[in-house]
Structure 1
Amino acid sequence: MMEEREHAADPFLATYSAPSHAQDPFNPYTDAPHPYARPQVPYTDSQDSGSGYPPASPDASAPALLLGGGAPVMAEYAMSRSRRSGGKRKKGWIGLGVLAGVLAVAAAVVLPVYFLVVRKHPASSSSSASAGGGSAGGSGGGANTTTVGAVTTGGDGSVVTTDAGDTFVYSNPFGGYWVADPTDPFNDGAAPNAWTPPLNQSWDWAADRVYGVNLGGWFVLEPFITPALFQPYPSAPDEWTLSTLMAADGSLGATMEAHYDTFITEEDFAQIAGAGLNWVRLPIPFWAISTWPDVGTAPGTGTAVAEPFLAGVCWRYIIRALGWARKYGLRVNLDLHTVPGSQNGYNHSGKLGQVNFLNGIMGVANAQRTLDYIRIITEFVSQPEYVNLIPMFGIVNEALLSTIGRPQLTSFYLEAHDMIRGITGLGAGNGPFISIHDGFDGVPNWAGFLPGSDRIILDTHPYFAFDQQPNDAPIATGTDPATAGGTWPLQACNSWGPLINTSRSAFGVTVAGEFSNGYNDCGLYLNGVNGTHFYGGDCDLWQDSSTWNASIKAGVGKFALASMDAMQDWFFWTWKIGNATDGVVSSPLWSYQLGLQGGWMPTDPRTANGTCAALGANSAPFDGVFSAWQTGGAGAGTIAPSAIASFGTYPPQTISNVPAAALTLLPTYTATGGVSTLTYVTPTASVTGSGTVVSAAPTVSVGDGWVDAGDTAPGVTTVAGCTYPDAWSALGAPAPTALCTGS
């Protein structure tokens, strides 16, 4: 057993007065239930779907280091943690065996010689992936920069040198400071600002506020975020099709890797911290780990279907992103944004169309693979090197509850919870919080969910843009702060604030994992490639912010402040929207960075505090007290027997769109495959700038990617001799009449 991880207090914060901490998406959600609110009721497995937010338009429309200013920064941190094993519970009608990690990465990973790589499990030929690269470390120099040994740190005005040799000035008026130590790339001493604890201090969910942004469109493509990637391929509505077309013309690898390398850079992370933000939500795809070359046979042709995504390549860029977040003291909500078969049928699930996760005859098999990917990520992020950096892990983004079913999804979440806590152990500090999405069912319907579970967060994504209403009430109503934004700011406060605050009492920790300034649905490709808009006006105005006047900016800005104040803990979607091929950001309501540059986003998110009260909004303030088990205290992991009785059978006893007679005959995978192990590997940097790049081999453990040495179970793979329908397009396949046991 390893020792408990401990951290010393950071005296840097003592130089500041502590503030009082106040209390598709992008292919329209046409399949989601219409969002009408309903009274708060206890959570039961018989509860209907269909409640949520009110409609948008109800009426019409180590040693102490010294910064340049002399403030000490503690760089010391520990590297150990304690573990306990979780409990067992009953299994269901399909013998899935012990849930295990994903099939092994087939391609070798090329690593710098000082990287330690331990493969825990045999490789499997039924998966494919690629990874590689070395790394060079960046540091800084110039004013307000201090170097002690190999450790470099700096605050506002310091000069940062990237691993490519480029330089920029770090602008942070809020007391934030960065820390770079190439010999110890896991130094958790940085903080983004004076009111946020540095990474090596605990986060207090009752008192500390999440001011975050998503890094959407980086590792999981969405047409409206990176339109220039999709515009040359007008028939591509999603990454599946785009990858297929790029592979056909030979551009997939080079184009995607260039995107991973350049879309978000280190300077973006520095700007995020400098904007007063303290978290990033980082969506990642399952193909960061591996893909399968055969997920079943195509209907009509009998040919094997291969997942076309570029496998394994983005992982090294994800590791680099995590390093940048750590350098600037930004905590990470790591979100598994795609799962095999698609959890919602939206373009950002990888493939537009069907829901084949926990739905239809391949629903259970796809869930088996999903649990493997969740397991592999959990093993990695729960290592001592990452527990401070990644306090939150979103296990499935936006699973479509109305299609999958509440009992089925709850059973899966309970299974995932038990698997994760079996790896991490129970209680605060043992692995990340588990984040689950509300399934577009609204936060009230999740009250009382799995009482006694260990650290589950409810994630909700409140948007007006996708309510299929005209939303043409004016937002440009002048520049007077008292009236700017028209009815929209108050509508945001009343629609979202009371429900989210009440959920903090009725469910536990609740965050808005996504929201935007999109009060309407205007934006190039926002409703999908060739999608139509419901907005009642002319979308041209909202697709080019260079035409906006002061009144528009004031209105959008007030709407942003009201949204932030209503949600309290939030992640804006998204940090950056890429230019279309004409050089214009064509979805400006969705770009935090552009809003800062254009003057409609707050340069200090704390200025949002009190906005809703000043507007006379309805109030349901949270008292700031969570139950101990909700944050990993006493009782965490002791789930109520009534919840186990209702949802403890896994796989679920029924699956949507599967006849009862076929439930025991469904095609599933067998736990005899290999398992991928994620490693610490970053891209090899090409030094193109004139700055002096400081690099050194790490002198500390970089981890082996697998925190639980006792977790040696194999992963899932196909049953030899069995034929499977296309796992991504199985809803039209006939139900099986006999169980295939293999050859």
Structure 2
Amino acid sequence: MRKRSGGRVVSGAVLEEGRGGREKLRGGGGSYDSVQKEKEQLFVDDVVRKKKKKLWIMIGVGVVLVIILIIAVAVVVSKKNSGDDDEEGLSGGKPSGLGTISPDTIPPGSPPWLNPFVWADTTDFNVTYTNQMVGDLPVMGLFSEWDDSKAANDRVPALNKPWGDYSKRPARGVNIGGWLSLEPFITPSLFEYDRRMGIIDEGTLCAYLAHRCEGILEKHYATFVTEQTFKEIAAAGLDHVRIPFSYWAVEKYDGDPFLYRTSWRYLLRSIEWCRKYGLRVNLDLHGLPGSQNGWNHSGRQGPISWLNGTDGAVNAKRSLEVHDRLSKFFAQPRYENVISHYGLANEPKMIFLNVPDILDWTISAHKIVRGNGVKDAVVVFGDGFRGLTNWQGELQGLDNAALDVHQYVIFNNGLVTLNHTGKIRYACDAWTQQTLESMNRGTGFGPTLVAEWSQADTDCARHLTNVGWGNRWTGTYVSGDALTEAISPKCPLKDRRCDCAPANADPKEWSDSYKKFLRMFAEAQMVSFEKGWGWFYWVWDTESAPQWSYKKGLAAGILPAKPWERQFDCTGPIPEFPDLPESY
């Protein structure tokens, strides 16, 4: 540009510079013809220069456009690598914790579970690339060293010491529910959609979100449960953690809408955090291929296609394959001290499914788990809601196995109507009797643990009975099943005074009477379930529904600060609580 501006192209300027015949022109001499030829030549030169100028301008514009395109592609790639592909997902930018790791160390085409540059959170993950697999499952994210010397509290042994007999030292644990297996009532904010859209479970949620499912769910994984969670659990005097997760952490099949394998690394990291605080782990496969119960927490609400229907056998086989891979992975030496329980199937609906088929499947699953090297963990299988005494004499050939029962009063039309005094009495008497009978091989299976229970005395929590459904408490539960639905109020008053507002209120608004009941009800259950192999409260935390949250219960004073610091042990009198709406 400087060169072109030094030789101005206007004719007068050129003539003044003496171009062509400057000697004659400057001397005042020279003919007309020579001047005319000079002008013609200047005209031709001017046209050529203009064409060249246009060409250079076009080239310049092209270069600028290429630069802009390169910048735009770089921004898109950067956002993609940071996991920020939509406004509902995680904030953009390089994940923290990558340190000096270069993206060039990740081989091109690596799947996202092997590329920390697309992870939402890298805290306490080993981000050094490895494609090593165990049981065809990635170890990416794990460190090669671990320490099992920590004890959850001074009343239990360190992880590297034997726990002993669970009948003498029962587990006192809690579930991390609604995290790696979504449950609408635990995190209702993830299900804030028009009911007509039919978003009722994790499957329909991911089907609707499509590519956005990854960003939204990983944000949930990274924030709903953190290291602080396990620190608080240990501080509360608990010693075990049950971690529900679903089969898509391992595998995904044609037509599945679920987010594949992202939850896997969060499961592995949560186990390491449990290790750090001396907490033993109960692995809980909460959702199986085809759904083992048709309930939303299995990922698919609706028909059961596990050991049932056209694809029943296929999904049963797939479930065994999932356990084959899981048990090979968790048979590694790093897990022999921290994983105390290995769950086969959460809440198989045996009141609907063929019982002999499930018993055969359980035997096969147990054989796979033990055969792959999981030697010491208690293998856990669900009671299937068929009644504990019906398990007497069954599956006696399974070594170190335990029956898993879930005890609630609110999912039964007869029990939910009990008043507060009646619910405490039922926990002290009926559940204690059931536990003792189940623990006795002469009247039940034998080893029995209660892997789910809560303080909830109503089914009023939002989405508890499915997204958009009613509840038994107010008589608005229309399930389509005459045996389970409640179309008239089932609170103890059984009339229009049955109201969910008090139960769903902030704990600060609860009456002293209600708080007293909730604590006695919790402690009564602890006493009863410790007659067996222990208990796991459902759940550690919720967005709302404080009667279901151990964390919120501690803050409200409706749970003991430590589970052994109980004020009620079922031996003293039970107060007669008033049956008034305000007491709830």
Q: TM-score with structure 1 length normalisation?
A: 0.55
Deviations 1:351-399 (A, max 9, x none): 1001111111211100010001111111112211001111111111000
1:246 deviation in Å?
A: 1.4
Aligned partner letter, 1:288: A
Indicate the residue corresponding to 1:600 in structure 2.
Answer: 558
Establish whether residue 308 from structure 1 lines up as the match of residue 257 from structure 2.
yes
Local SS of the residue matching 2:558: coil
Among all aligned residue pairs of Structure 1 and Structure 2, give the percentage whose two residues are the same amino acid.
36
Within a 5 Å distance, the mapping from 1:253-264 to structure 2 comes to 253-264=214-225
Q: Sort the Cα spacing of 1:339 and 1:228 in 2 relative to 1 into closer, same or farther, 3 A.
A: same
Indicate the residue corresponding to 2:571 in structure 1.
Answer: 613
Indicate the residue corresponding to 1:195 in structure 2.
Answer: 155
Counterpart-to-counterpart distance in 2, 1:612 and 1:441: 27
Establish whether residue 394 from structure 1 lines up as the match of residue 343 from structure 2.
yes
Counterpart-to-counterpart distance in 1, 2:370 and 2:418: 48
Aligned partner letter, 1:240: G
Local SS of the residue matching 2:404: strand
1:320 deviation in Å?
A: 1.2
1:591 deviation in Å?
A: 0.7
Match of 1:523 among 445, 461, 486: 461
Indicate the residue corresponding to 2:399 in structure 1.
Answer: 454
Counterpart-to-counterpart distance in 2, 1:389 and 1:397: 21
Indicate the residue corresponding to 2:189 in structure 1.
Answer: 228
Establish whether residue 499 from structure 1 lines up as the match of residue 437 from structure 2.
no
Contact in 1 for aligned 2:379/2:401 (Cα 8 Å): yes
Match of 1:323 among 259, 272, 289: 272
Aligned partner letter, 1:511: L
Local SS of the residue matching 2:471: coil
Q: Sort the Cα spacing of 1:106 and 1:199 in 2 relative to 1 into closer, same or farther, 3 A.
A: same
Unaligned segments of structure 1, at least 5 residues: 1-104, 124-128, 136-181, 295-305, 476-485, 579-584, 617-743
Contact in 2 for aligned 1:233/1:242 (Cα 8 Å): no
Contact in 1 for aligned 2:113/2:261 (Cα 8 Å): no
Local SS of the residue matching 2:352: helix
1:421 deviation in Å?
A: 1.8
Aligned partner letter, 1:278: D
Contact in 2 for aligned 1:472/1:520 (Cα 8 Å): no
Local SS of the residue matching 1:461: strand
Contact in 2 for aligned 1:576/1:594 (Cα 8 Å): yes
Deviations 1:454-498 (A, max 9, x none): 1111000011110034835443xxxxxxxxxx2221111112111
1:604 deviation in Å?
A: 1.4
Unaligned segments of structure 2, at least 5 residues: 1-109, 117-125, 474-490, 492-497, 575-584
Match of 1:279 among 215, 236, 240: 240
Local SS of the residue matching 1:282: strand
Contact in 1 for aligned 2:409/2:415 (Cα 8 Å): no
Local SS of the residue matching 2:438: helix
Counterpart-to-counterpart distance in 1, 2:529 and 2:565: 14
Local SS of the residue matching 2:372: helix
Contact in 2 for aligned 1:565/1:608 (Cα 8 Å): no
Contact in 1 for aligned 2:523/2:568 (Cα 8 Å): no
Indicate the residue corresponding to 1:443 in structure 2.
Answer: 388
Aligned partner letter, 2:434: L
Match of 1:406 among 342, 350, 355: 355
Deviations 1:429-470 (A, max 9, x none): x24221000001122111222223211110000111100348
Q: Sort the Cα spacing of 1:322 and 1:416 in 2 relative to 1 into closer, same or farther, 3 A.
A: same
Local SS of the residue matching 2:571: helix
Contact in 1 for aligned 2:323/2:368 (Cα 8 Å): no
Aligned partner letter, 2:158: P
Counterpart-to-counterpart distance in 2, 1:113 and 1:224: 34
1:266 deviation in Å?
A: 1.0
Aligned partner letter, 2:438: S
Which of structures 1 and 2 has the bigger CA Rg? Answer: 2
Indicate the residue corresponding to 1:208 in structure 2.
Answer: 169
Counterpart-to-counterpart distance in 2, 1:607 and 1:230: 38
Contact in 2 for aligned 1:110/1:132 (Cα 8 Å): no
Indicate the residue corresponding to 1:572 in structure 2.
Answer: 537
Counterpart-to-counterpart distance in 2, 1:113 and 1:316: 11
1:133 deviation in Å?
A: 7.2
Counterpart-to-counterpart distance in 2, 1:384 and 1:114: 21
Deviations 1:523-543 (A, max 9, x none): 111111111111132011111
Counterpart-to-counterpart distance in 1, 2:319 and 2:144: 35
Counterpart-to-counterpart distance in 1, 2:315 and 2:417: 41
Counterpart-to-counterpart distance in 1, 2:139 and 2:257: 19
Larger helix proportion of the pair: 2
Contact in 1 for aligned 2:405/2:448 (Cα 8 Å): yes
Counterpart-to-counterpart distance in 1, 2:111 and 2:227: 30
Deviations 1:116-141 (A, max 9, x none): 543468x8xxxxx9x89758xxxxxx
Counterpart-to-counterpart distance in 2, 1:419 and 1:401: 22
Q: Sort the Cα spacing of 1:106 and 1:615 in 2 relative to 1 into closer, same or farther, 3 A.
A: farther
Counterpart-to-counterpart distance in 2, 1:597 and 1:120: 41
Q: TM-score with structure 2 length normalisation?
A: 0.69
Contact in 2 for aligned 1:192/1:273 (Cα 8 Å): yes
Aligned partner letter, 2:251: S
1:549 deviation in Å?
A: 1.8
Q: Sort the Cα spacing of 1:187 and 1:518 in 2 relative to 1 into closer, same or farther, 3 A.
A: same
Counterpart-to-counterpart distance in 2, 1:493 and 1:280: 24
1:500 deviation in Å?
A: 1.0
1:609 deviation in Å?
A: 8.4
Establish whether residue 513 from structure 1 lines up as the match of residue 451 from structure 2.
yes
Local SS of the residue matching 2:362: helix
Counterpart-to-counterpart distance in 1, 2:141 and 2:175: 27
